[in-house]
Structure 1
Amino acid sequence: MSKSTPLAYAGIVGATFFWGTNFNAGAYIIKSMAPISASIERFAISTLLLLLIFGLAGKLRLTTLKNNLAAFIGLGLLGFTAFNLATFFGLQTTTPINGALILATTPLWTMIFAVLLEGERIDRGRAIGLVLGLLGVGLVITRGDIQVLLGLKVATGDAIILAGSIAWAANMVGTRRFVKDSTPLETTKFSMLFGVIGLIVLGFIYESPMASISTASLSVHGAVFYLAVCGSLIAYLLWFKGIHAIGAARTSIFFNLAPVFTMLVSSILGVLPNVWQLLGAGGVILGVVFASGLVFGAGQSSAVKVRTGLADKAA
């Protein structure tokens, strides 16, 4: 295990924490702003900050953008535009429970893509971790009511959210597979740039972004700024760094920690978890432990280890 690996794991957990709190902040924002408009403001701020902070420092190479233009466009539309909009439009015709359970399958799709495109293998620890993680998320969301699971029906909204889950999985594997000679910072910045462009185009088609943004209160803008800095800029940097360090499939399992962090923040705000949510959180944590190789050891193939070393040098 390289010296950077523990830091990569810590960064991934930090990213999922920020994404977990996105639900808490987003619930407040959505009361006053249209969803796509809020997404536009959020990612526009993130993109601008990345450009000002790192672009002026000379850490964003135009040659990297030129050499990976097609990849960055695809990753931006998948990981930023499609994923966010699929969740929003999907929830218009399905329940939050259905949507959350379907999004919890993201690590499964990521693992499948990694096996097909990168030749990664599913070892015993990752298989156990995936099952425990999905069971844990199911308990957190359903509160132990098996009828919720049995009552799932394939609807238009379910299909849309599933498409968003697959898009996010493809984004994670594509970042490692198709982007060449790019740092995590550059991958985040350039992918986010094209994701914002996609959001702006769709925003003006389905909403009135300028009116929605201009009429929001300062507190709402403050919440959007938190999402932009912590839930977008910092979280995505940490996440892409994790993908480069330990691989897409292993990183993706940590995605299941997000609803656990959402539950913890809700508890701080006065909404205490029930016994099923606590058991589910335990399942998710155990799933992460198994999938990360802490129980059975690092289960990466030699090919994956070689790619990891190269990614660390590129970063």
Structure 2
Amino acid sequence: MSALKKWQTYLVLVFIMMVWGFNVPALKTLVTAFTPVTITSLRIFTAGITVFIILGIMKKIRIPTRRESLFIISGGLLNVVSHHYFLSVGLTQTTSTNGGLILGTGPLLTALLASILLRNRPTVIKVIGFILGGIGVSIIVLSGGEGLGNLNSGDLMVFISIFSQALSFIIISRAAKTLDPRLLTGYMLVFGSVILFIIGMVKEPGGLSNLGHASAGIWVLFFASAMLATALGHMLYNHSIGQLGAAETSIFLNLNTFFSLIGAALFLGEKITSYHLLGLLFIILGVICGAGTLEELILKRKKQRFYTKQQKHHM
């Protein structure tokens, strides 16, 4: 991969992280303006249809096998239904700032679950990362506007949301061996949105009747969130993993948390406290150590030094 192409991928990732970060306060606005589960199901269905339109133009659509369908169902229940249900409900009970910071633990949780479920024995650096990330999350979920307070149920729901998504990544990594991750994403979004819609009809009987009361600006936000953040964002991120590798790509997820903080302050006027910044610092350190990023950088340095010594020896 050329240096120019690598930098182009880096710029794309920065753009995605900005969109995803700003999407957290956008979601907070949407779940406040509408009934949370119903509007989330419609947003994800719109995203799924957008993915299929793009893949249709690319001629990448095919019918999944029976085994792949099981991955779609299990991945959809975790990645879409559980993740988005608890996120939408959780954001109605906590701040966008707390939500964005807790979502920032995604790569850390994914690395931890991979170590447990795939029996990848964690190294000392990864264990340190898990501990640092745990400290960061603890600081955030225990912090109130003026100091440390009680655990918020909304924070807990957002944590369950990101835990479900992290667990789904283990399933997705296995499914991606035979099914294009972008097509897998499309199927999961459509399947999951239908299940969410049914849950919304049960829990929010008047959900659809509330849709007509929203302003044009809210609907612009809805389609931007669905088509740009959820559909295009996930497709570009999955493509970037293929270009750079999971470890190098995960570094950029730290920016997601940073942009969600900026977005919450700019668009919702939420206060960023010293506890949020301290928690963010611990999460970033935890992700770098726990996701294997630091180890990969150390390994690259060692290899470069070895090759340099070999070249000097042969001169």
**What TM-score comes out, normalization by structure 1 length?**
0.73
> Across the two proteins, how many residue pairs are aligned to each other?
293
Q: CA deviation at 1:227?
A: 0.9
Moved more, 3-12 or 35-44: 3-12
Q: Where does the alignment leave 5 or more consecutive residues of structure 1 unmatched? A: 301-315
CA displacement 1:114-138 (0-9 Å, x = unmatched): 1233333323443333433444455
CA displacement 1:194-238 (0-9 Å, x = unmatched): 111111211222223432323322111111111112221123224
Q: CA deviation at 1:106?
A: 4.8
- 1:1-315 matches, cutoff 5 A: 14-62=15-63, 64=64, 67-89=67-89, 106-107=106-107, 109-139=109-139, 142=143, 147-148=148-149, 151-152=150-151, 163-207=160-204, 208-241=206-239, 246-247=245-246, 257-269=255-267, 273-291=272-290, 293=292, 295-297=294-296
Q: Where does the alignment leave 5 or more consecutive residues of structure 2 unmatched? A: 300-315
Q: CA deviation at 1:263?
A: 1.2
Residues 1:287 and 1:21: Cα distance change in structure 2 (over 3 Å): same
C-alpha separation in 2, matches of 1:50 and 1:236: 9
C-alpha separation in 1, matches of 2:285 and 2:108: 17
Residues 1:126 and 1:189: Cα distance change in structure 2 (over 3 Å): same
SS of aligned partner of 1:170: helix
CA displacement 1:4-57 (0-9 Å, x = unmatched): 988777666654443322221123223321111221221122112112222243
Task: Report the structure number with the largest CA radius of gyration.
Answer: 2
Q: CA deviation at 1:276?
A: 3.8
SS of aligned partner of 2:191: helix
Q: CA deviation at 1:188?
A: 1.1
C-alpha separation in 2, matches of 1:5 and 1:259: 23
Letter in 1 for 2:258: V
Residues 1:124 and 1:220: Cα distance change in structure 2 (over 3 Å): same
C-alpha separation in 1, matches of 2:155 and 2:270: 28
Cα RMSD for the two superposed structures: 3.9
Moved more, 287-296 or 173-182: 287-296
Q: Indicate if the aligned counterparts of 1:293 and 1:299 stay in contact, CA closer than 8 A.
A: no
Q: CA deviation at 1:143?
A: 6.9
C-alpha separation in 2, matches of 1:5 and 1:127: 30
Residues 1:75 and 1:299: Cα distance change in structure 2 (over 3 Å): farther
C-alpha separation in 2, matches of 1:218 and 1:8: 34
Moved more, 28-37 or 286-295: 286-295
SS of aligned partner of 1:273: coil
Moved more, 7-16 or 268-277: 7-16
Q: CA deviation at 1:162?
A: 5.3
Q: CA deviation at 1:86?
A: 2.2
**What TM-score comes out, normalization by structure 2 length?**
0.73
Letter in 2 for 1:114: A
SS of aligned partner of 1:121: coil
Q: Indicate if the aligned counterparts of 2:105 and 2:283 stay in contact, CA closer than 8 A.
A: no
Residues 1:16 and 1:143: Cα distance change in structure 2 (over 3 Å): farther
Q: Indicate if the aligned counterparts of 2:129 and 2:286 stay in contact, CA closer than 8 A.
A: yes
C-alpha separation in 1, matches of 2:51 and 2:100: 30
SS of aligned partner of 1:41: helix
Letter in 1 for 2:32: K
C-alpha separation in 1, matches of 2:283 and 2:54: 36
C-alpha separation in 2, matches of 1:76 and 1:174: 10
Residues 1:37 and 1:56: Cα distance change in structure 2 (over 3 Å): same
What is the percentage of aligned positions where both structures have the same residue? 26
Residues 1:145 and 1:293: Cα distance change in structure 2 (over 3 Å): farther
Q: Indicate if the aligned counterparts of 1:68 and 1:179 stay in contact, CA closer than 8 A.
A: no
Residues 1:209 and 1:41: Cα distance change in structure 2 (over 3 Å): same
